[in-house]
Structure 1
Amino acid sequence: MPPATEATADAQLKPLARGLAVPPGVPARSNVPSVRYDLAVSGTGELTPDDGVPGDDGPREIFERGGASWYGIQFHQRKTASGERFDMTAMTAAHKTLPFNTRVCVRSLVNGSEVLVRINDRGPYAMGRVIDLSRAAADRIGLTGLGIKQVALSIVDREGMRCGGLPVEASDAQAPAPVADRARAPAPARRKAAVPPRRRR
């Protein structure tokens, strides 16, 4: 058999048909649900944070979701709306409506990390933000580098609920015990100067 020449090799090549690489009759649009980008809107939703630990009491109900911000050294030791001093190293937070001392599990919707905080202040009042974390709480979920992060809030109102993969104890994130006022010693009574008796004339 004679060897194939370049002309016969070119004659065997056929151009590809132009068109979509989808079989006929199959829709070209994907059936995968589109991603939702409305996480900045405050309110409840179908996203249910769950750490997936065996023995957990199931997904927690989301109270609110939206943006989380933080505050630190510039407010350290100033009085909060609850009357106690702000401590940027404590696991506390500010919320517009939740009662003081409410325990809240804050879950990052960016990296899934969680932190348990106690509400002791009011705020934030910026559009789209639902909670203001202390510096320490913000560090726990990697918020300080970003400034604002999307989070989901769940109220922890039962002992044994989980936050950050650990069961919440009754003492976690509780209000500090009130400092007893020191009993003031009564001021010493002032002695009246002795008045000499009047001499009778």
Structure 2
Amino acid sequence: MEIWVNAVRWCIKRIPRGPMASFSDLPPPSPKFHFIVDITLSTKERSADVSSVISVLITQKTATAVAYVKRGKGLVRVNGSPIELLEPEILKFKVYEPILLLGQERFANVDIRIRVKGGGHTSQVYAIRQALAKGIVAFYQKFVDEAAKKEIKDILVHYDRSLLVADPRRCEPKKFGGPGARARYQKSYR
């Protein structure tokens, strides 16, 4: 922001003033401010790209996953690393379920970036899995066609409804008078 303000001040100082002034009297622009034009162009290009990106927010227990889906080459990344490197190894198949159900060809022209934080390993994996499924459904709804979206949705729901429907269960807080949320301490009458 400060660079932009300095550039504007520099330009204002060089505006010709007076009755006989013309813009042909302006000195050539300083080379140090050429990059400002590039910055403004790149932000305009970025804003055009933003309209072609779909974001989906998923919460599973205390884990939160955000999936960004856009047209691309078929890359699927979780927290910046490829999905193949996801840990723990035992739960990796759960994340692959939407891809295996729908087939690689449906993911071939789509790039998916997923950011996940909070919770434990299992709830993160289930949040990623749901973000993948809901992200691809939302992408097909907005950019492809309704029939393809319905077909994808039917396949996913027929296999496992939790791929598209959130699980609202949360851990109930402990209360006084007992060791847990509902259990009470033992009571003796004599």
Q: TM-score range by the shorter chain?
A: under 0.3
Query: Going by fraction, where is helix more abundant, 1 or 2?
Result: 2
TM score, norm. by length of structure 2? 0.23
TM score, norm. by length of structure 1? 0.22
Larger Rg: 1
